[in-house]
A and B are shown apart, each in its own frame.
Chain A
Amino acid sequence: MLSPEEVIRRLRDQGSLWEVAPGVSGLRGPVVSLLREIEAALADLARAETSNEWLAPAGVSFATLERAKYFASFPQWLTAASHLSGNEAALQHIAASASPGAAARSSLEPADVVLPPAVCYNTYAAHADSVIAAPVVMTAQGTCWRYEGERLAALERGWAFTMREIVCLGAQHDVREFLDRSVERVSALEHVLGIDCEMVAASDPFFAPNARGRAALQRIKGLKHELVFRYPDGRPLAIASFNDHELFFGEAFAISLPDGSPAWSGCVAFGLERWLMAVLVTHGVEPAGWPVTLSLNAELAQPRGTDK
């Protein structure tokens, strides 16, 4: 096994990885094929649960995050998309500036849209103010953005990273069963990839001042579990999370069951670059050492769930 630092050093030396800003990295070469195989395996895992695949929007509205109470939960991560004004004089000034990049940077308009901190917010918004007649399970993959300052690290904690999510809306038992099934499926994938992980109780890094109370409630109620890969020195890397939101999003977005009660929700999230890191730490950065095939095998090909 390699240390994560050694993986990054070797990838940089090969020219396979580079960063344009802390946590904003690019990949090229065989490691991209490996990432694509992991991506395909996770997509197959999601499709074993549902055929309801979404192409999530590349942005999420401030209104949606407000409704999701995001600003009381994780505002520290927020990253937004801005743009230059269409004012011709301003654009000419920038173009004529000695440093157009710097001039553009200082001329940006207030942000109109947030770069998604998670894929699932748009799925709750899409079901807002509605009654779901039957459980809904959907999956989507997208680029997510979380600004984590000095903690940012390539392939481990990207400012921009790729997330695959499977989301379930329904009654409490629908969500609990969905999460149980997901744990089983992910364990099978972990086996296929030849990486050794453990499932642990976890809590979210909520924003103060009520952070400890919310995290304590999560822990006591067992609402969040993470699939943790361990580096050779024992440091943990959470590569998937299993989240029971109870009624939080059902109430926040007025998503109801036929009897009028709020829907329960849960989601399973995978950080693709972290899966890549786990495979590289385990098998090395040379393609000859990688698992022969990462594509979905019979072990994972469980019958599809009902198309919820």
Chain B
Amino acid sequence: MSPRAQFIYRMVGWLNEEVAPKGVHVDADTPLFSTRLLDSLRVLELIAFTEQAIGLPIPDSHIRMDNFQTVARIAAVFLPLDDHVVA
């Protein structure tokens, strides 16, 4: 499994186990911010989760909707296939 696929697997697992309310299922393409799935504490955990995976802090300028829309998008932006962070 590629680092990106592992990241998606782990983050989706975390969201379903720790974050999503009962009866709500999150997958890699679920919009994360169109509902109240993530509050201001959870969003920090989401950012920290990503930072831990890429081993780098994410600057505020990269914390925006087009980078964080879905788990798949986060993975695509911060864990590109060649494993070089470009965001």
Contact = CB atoms under 8 A, between A and B. Distances in A.
Interface of A: 201, 203, 210, 212-217, 219-222
A217 to B, nearest CB: 5
Interface stretch (B11-19, B22-30, B62-70): B62-70
A216 to B, nearest CB: 5
Contacts of A217: 33, 38-40, 43
A216 B65 contact: no
A203 to B, nearest CB: 8
16 contacts: A203-B60, A210-B40, A212-B44, A213-B40, A213-B42, A213-B43, A213-B44, A215-B60, A216-B47, A216-B63, A217-B38, A217-B43, A219-B60, A220-B65, A221-B65, A222-B64
A221 B68 CA distance: 9
Contact of A210 (B41, B47, B60): B41
Contacts of A216: 40, 43-44, 47, 60, 63
A220 B60 CA distance: 10
Contacts of B68: 220
A201 B66 CA distance: 12
Nearest to A210: B40
Interface of B: 33, 38-44, 47, 60, 63-65, 67-68
Nearest to A206: B40
Contacts of B38: 217
B12 to A, nearest CB: 18
A201 B40 contact: no
A221 B43 CA distance: 11
B2 to A, nearest CB: 25
A220 B63 contact: yes
Contacts of B40: 210, 213-214, 216-217
A6 to B, nearest CB: 30
Contact of B65 (A212, A215, A222): A222
Nearest to A221: B33
Contacts of B44: 212-213, 216
A248 to B, nearest CB: 11
A216 B42 CA distance: 11
Contact of B43 (A201, A220, A222): A220
A201 B40 CA distance: 18
A215 B63 CA distance: 9
A39 B64 CA distance: 33
Nearest to A219: B63
B65 A213 contact: no
Contacts of B67: 220
A213 B63 CA distance: 11
Contacts of B47: 216
A220 B33 CA distance: 8
Nearest to B69: A220
Given A210-B40, A215-B60, A220-B67, 12 more contacts: A201-B64, A203-B60, A210-B41, A213-B39, A213-B43, A213-B44, A214-B40, A217-B43, A219-B64, A220-B33, A220-B43, A220-B64
Q: Chain A CB within 10 Å — which of B43, B44, B60 has the most?
A: B43
